[in-house]
Amino acid sequence: MPLNFTFALSQQQTFELRCDYGSRRLDKTALVTLIDLCEQNYYPQQKDSLPYLTQLGRQLYQWLDGNEGWLMKGAG
């Protein structure tokens, strides 16, 4: 089952991640850190570091999956 994720700015000026399973408030510091990491590594380097990119991919997966296991539920 494909999952649809959306980001929303709530009325309390916090960010939420929403998907078919519900929503959760996002830690603003963690969000900024991940955005910075992605932006730093978005543009090709002279030599891409596969281990680093793999680690970044795992971080993004874990962040999206969260404690609720949304991605794991979608895979099952």
pTM of the predicted structure, to 2 decimals: 0.63
Answer yes or no: are the C-beta atoms of 51 and 41 closer than 8 Å. Answer: no
Count other Cβ atoms within 10 Å, centred on residue 3: 13
* pLDDT of 6 above 80: no
* Confidence (pLDDT) at 66: 84
Task: Round to whole Å and give the CA distance between 2 and 33.
Answer: 27
**70: helix, strand or coil:** helix
